[in-house]
Copies of this chain bind each other. A is one copy, B any other.
């Protein structure tokens, strides 16, 4: 960035650091000696990565921060030096030091431990937030699609923008939601991930900044990292209150990212829901900053409780699609086994996305597109969503009860929709719980997968994918994993048992 655009005072930073001490102690963590400067550097890094201290914010001078924290100036100087070495701080003589984020480096893809024979077949997999198909609607949709197939079987089957009937059906759906839309504004993709990949190729080249919620959807963050983007985290508001608009305005104004990626409805992983006014405000801030705002509506149909007020879609405040690019998907609302997603944007953006598709996946399968067309054209989509909501609600309630029973010190807010519970793991390392869980028959993704470069070590994500006795067993195994981590049993990786959160 080359310069700071806002300032964090010494007292303010000391307060933010102090409020996060938790089990963090200078001198020792997880049974190992940790120098004070290292603890301080880690704490500052996490404040940046979780979006609590914005990127390009000038930090206090070493002497001031040392006084505010009652530590030696040497400790602060060494912490700043460590942060500079890791790309989280930039300095220039006379201008001071300001926060930064390094270019994304992909997470190492670690092979999962092979299961011991006694666990094989009994692993409860909470790794994937997707549910079984809402039958009988899957079979019905495919049977109807087969009836529609013959005329398409006479073509080469290659529709890079999607079948015209499906583009029309999706456009009609936006129009019915109050956002007039033409088929030329729609492209069918291979799931929401195919949509994000295509949008990143178009808007966010290597080294380009993308603002993302902290936390956000793990696979999208990794895709962006692999594309070489610089991820600029923006903290979510507390609890389930949706976006922190002042934080977003600051990041959009100061970091001027090329693109921003946000989930308005039942955010993954936190389950947060934007309030009625937020979409308009975020769109206005993005427009003012010249930032393309990519809004992922994958979870929008998954309202689980009565009386929930859904926010208006962000594209309602940018119907022409010059600022807002909307992503939808059948993977969560209907079934992941379809691999069906779509993009709504301005016609020229859609044309560019379609042109680039010849060099990616070429197109989406015809029969799946006919199945989704049939679902959208009749009662199928709504009826399937009812089945899906019933499954998810019952699983959520079972999971919440089971976690409260077996892990009473884990903290979370129960979301009113979506498919995920974001649980604070009582001061233990989420990565080590995930690792111990793998050995004890429960697979769960740890918090850092949902954060930028190591944030959210104190969390795991639990999906609403199992219910009843299985949810109870899963929570019991997680509790056993937590005990294992707490007791200091040796782990396969060198992660401290406790952490700053």
Contact = CB atoms under 8 A, between A and B. Distances in A.
A292 B154 CA distance: 38
A146 B143 CA distance: 8
Interface stretch (A131-139, A242-250, A491-499): A131-139
Contacts of A154: 132-133
Interface in A106-138: 109, 111, 128, 130-133, 135, 138
B365 A365 contact: yes
A326 interface: no
A401 B212 CA distance: 58
B132 A337 contact: no
A67 to B, nearest CB: 45
B465 A191 contact: no
A27 interface: no
Interface string A147-171: 0011011111110000000000000
A43 interface: no
Contacts of A222: 358-359
Contact of A226 (B111, B130, B201, B367): B201
Interface residues of A, number: 54
A288 interface: no
A363 interface: yes
A174 interface: no
A352 interface: yes
B158 A135 contact: no
Contacts of A289: none
A193 interface: yes
Given A139-B149, A361-B193, A368-B365, A337 B111 contact: no
Given A201-B226, A355-B111, A157 B336 contact: yes
Contacts of A158: 128, 130, 336-337
Given A153-B138, A201-B226, A337 B366 contact: yes
23 contacts: A109-B356, A130-B157, A131-B156, A132-B157, A133-B152, A133-B154, A156-B337, A156-B465, A157-B336, A190-B339, A191-B362, A193-B359, A193-B362, A194-B361, A206-B206, A223-B359, A223-B360, A338-B365, A339-B362, A339-B364, A339-B365, A367-B367, A367-B368
Given A130-B158, A135-B150, 6 more contacts: A153-B335, A157-B335, A191-B362, A193-B359, A339-B361, A339-B362
